[in-house]
């Protein structure tokens, strides 16, 4: 009787482990990046979205970000000072069923419509991954981008709003309304070697 219980516990662990590892570990992150913080950014929604931030070790002016969402559609991350979509500097990405990766620098023109693709793309995709349950992206961008059009937030040593959103299914055509969304305040360069200093 005892051994039957043990077997069923082991089976449960074996089934759950890959999901948790995918959601929380960073084993596929390219070398040369320092992670300075990470946070579950949907605390009220069942811990489906985890976000990591950091910088390039040799050129810290380049910031590094990773998001992992328990979702198979698009995943978006945005930065601004107010929480709503209007004025948010966003990235939006998804991986199609045939493995095509879409990942774009976008901007929130309004609080209620799809963010538009930035005229100037200032993000570089470093990694994209999807398994049976999760979608994960890693990207870099300069802390201070060259985009002077107002579509990028320059990252300083202060609390900003980090917006997140995802859909359960890939967009068919243009991306539409999220399944879940939210925002929380974070300082993304508090532990940065130069930007973090007062």
Binding site for ligand HEM (CB under 6 A): 76-78, 83-85, 90, 92, 112-115, 163-165, 175-178, 181-183
Distance CA 115, CA 88 (A): 8
Q: Which is nearer to ligand HEM, 7 or 112 (CB)?
A: 112
Q: Which is nearer to ligand HEM, 18 or 43 (CB)?
A: 43
Q: Which is nearer to ligand HEM, 54 or 115 (CB)?
A: 115
Using Cβ positions, the residue closest to ligand HEM within the complex turns out to be 76
Q: How far is the CB of 110 from ligand HEM (least distance, A)?
A: 9
Of all helices (H) and strands (E), which one includes residue 15?
helix 2-24
- Structure-token match 């999220």, residue found: 178
Q: Which is nearer to ligand HEM, 60 or 134 (CB)?
A: 134
Q: How far is the CB of 136 from ligand HEM (least distance, A)?
A: 16
Q: How far is the CB of 76 from ligand HEM (least distance, A)?
A: 3
Q: How far is the CB of 47 from ligand HEM (least distance, A)?
A: 17
Q: How far is the CB of 165 from ligand HEM (least distance, A)?
A: 3
Handedness of CA 111, 141, 30, 186 (dihedral sign): negative
Q: How far is the CB of 180 from ligand HEM (least distance, A)?
A: 9
Q: Which is nearer to ligand HEM, 162 or 189 (CB)?
A: 162
Q: In what order do the strands lie in the sheet containing 33-40?
A: 33-40, 49-56, 62-69, 135-142, 124-130
Distance CA 162, CA 63 (A): 15
- Write phi, then psi, for 106 (nearest 5 degrees): -130, 175
Q: Which is nearer to ligand HEM, 60 or 80 (CB)?
A: 80
Helix, strand, coil shares, percent, the chain, to 5? 15, 40, 50
10 Å Cβ neighbour count for 146?
Answer: 8
10 Å Cβ neighbour count for 77?
Answer: 25
Tokens of 116: 């538009």
């Amino acid at each position: 009787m005892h051994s039957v219980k043990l077997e069923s516990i082991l089976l449960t662990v074996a089934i759950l482990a890959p999901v948790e590892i995918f959601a929380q570990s960073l084993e596929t992150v390219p070398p040369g990046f320092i992670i300075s913080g990470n946070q579950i950014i949907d605390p009220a929604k069942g811990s489906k979205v985890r976000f990591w931030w950091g910088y390039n070790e040799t050129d810290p002016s380049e910031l590094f970000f990773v998001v992992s969402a328990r979702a198979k559609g698009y995943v978006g991350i945005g930065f601004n000072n107010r929480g709503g979509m209007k004025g948010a500097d966003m990235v939006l990405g998804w991986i199609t069923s045939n493995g095509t990766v879409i990942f774009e620098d976008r901007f929130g023109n309004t609080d209620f419509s799809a963010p538009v693709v930035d005229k100037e793309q200032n993000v570089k995709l470093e990694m994209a991954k999807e398994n049976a349950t999760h979608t994960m992206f890693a990207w870099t961008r300069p802390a201070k981008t060259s985009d002077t059009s107002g579509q990028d937030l320059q990252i300083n040593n202060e609390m900003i709003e980090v917006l997140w959103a995802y859909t359960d299914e890939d967009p068919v055509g243009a991306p539409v309304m999220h399944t879940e969304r939210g925002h929380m305040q974070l300082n993304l360069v508090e532990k940065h070697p130069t930007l973090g200093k007062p």
